[in-house]
Amino acid sequence: MAVDAAGKPVHFIVTSGTVTDCSQAKDLIKDTGAKYLLADRGYDTNEIIEAAQNAGMEVIIPPKINRKVLLEYDKNAYKLRHIIENTFLKLKQWRGIAARYIKNLQSMIATIQIRCIALCINYL
């Protein structure tokens, strides 16, 4: 999921349970027009960093421990990553999303869209 600075959902992708989140990152950051990419260590791959930089974003991702050359990042700006975590918490307040009761992909997407609309309305 991609959110704006206020925590409003901008874009999301639903995958099966066995797909890693970082494999979808390039599609999420494409055409968002964002200035920054804040993500956790799991997204610290050269492929994601290059895609974000090509999109004109400043990358703020702490380096993985096993990275040979540790990349620098803005630790103060990284503290703002709690905004996306808070959005996930609000999204998962709907029990059906958190427990993944919905087994049909289209129904899950529709449910997440409805919840995202509700989150955006609450920001007004």
Mean pLDDT (the chain, rounded) = 89
- Examine the pLDDT at 35 and tell me if it is beyond 80: yes
| Gap between the Cα atoms of 118 and 95, Å rounded | 15
CA 50, 55, 58, 59 torsion: positive or negative? negative
Report how many domains make up the chain.
1
CATH code of 104's domain: 3.30.420
> Would you place residue 31 in the very low, low, confident or very high pLDDT band (cuts 50, 70, 90)?
confident
pLDDT at 102: 82
Rounded mean pLDDT of 67-72? 89
The pTM score is: 0.80
pLDDT digits (tens, 9 = 90+) for 73-124: 999 999 999 999 999 999 888 888 888 788 888 988 999 999 999 988 876 5
Query: Which CA distances in Å does 9 have to 15, 30, 64, 72?
Result: 17, 15, 27, 28
Instruction: Show the CA angle centred on residue 21, arms to residues 79 and 64, nearest 5°.
Output: 55
Predicted pLDDT of residue 124: 53
Residue 101: domain span: 2-122
